[in-house]
Chain A
Amino acid sequence: MIKSELVQRIAEQNPHLYQRDVENIVNAILDEIVDALKGGDRVELRGFGAFSVKNRPARIGRNPRTGQKVEVTEKYVPFFKTGKEMRERLNGGKDLGADD
């Protein structure tokens, strides 16, 4: 499913809304998540999962082909941890425990 299909499905469930409104709703949600992560904040959506940002400090890497040292600068990467309810639903309702 891509974003336009998501918008379409939500629009079908809400005949009183314009497709344009639904697009704005989906974008408002995603933008809010992105803005939080840009500020280094965490986004916790119970039952679904949690987004956070992890820091990767600068390090000396190596070109695996030549063995040459290269400086890798500090980075921040987005991270997602699946929520408990979602984990269970993916496995027919059984809680098989965390698996990271």
Chain B
Amino acid sequence: MSGKTVTRADLCEAVYQKVGLSRTESADLVEQVLSEISDCLVSGEAVKLSSFGSFLVRSKGERIGRNPKTGEEVPISPRRVMVFRPSNVLKQKINESLVGE
């Protein structure tokens, strides 16, 4: 493991290298893809990307949490959260590559 962090800039570079658009347009399209996925999730709809995974939106009801430092009970308000469920293909690829390195 190299412990590197991949960012938007790396995604733009990948699009630039593989698709052959200008750097500016590559950056613009990476942004469009991310906002399309975000907008869809905000509208409450799931996004399923085959062989990658699914982003789902879950609604959580109110529950009682605890401040771990003081032990004080605090109510956690109802909210919507987004979860990522990796596909089996993705899980398998990661394991094949990292186990027994």
Contacts and interface: CB of A to CB of B under 8 A. Distances in A.
20 contacts: A3-B49, A10-B36, A24-B19, A28-B14, A29-B33, A30-B52, A32-B6, A36-B6, A39-B2, A41-B1, A41-B2, A43-B6, A44-B6, A53-B94, A74-B99, A76-B98, A82-B81, A86-B38, A96-B77, A99-B81
A37 B10 CA distance: 13
A47 B39 CA distance: 12
A42 interface: yes
B33 A73 contact: no
Interface of A: 1-3, 6, 9-10, 13-14, 21-22, 24-26, 28-34, 36-49, 51, 53, 73-80, 82, 86-87, 89-91, 96, 99
Interface in B25-45: 26, 29-30, 32-34, 36-38, 40-42, 45
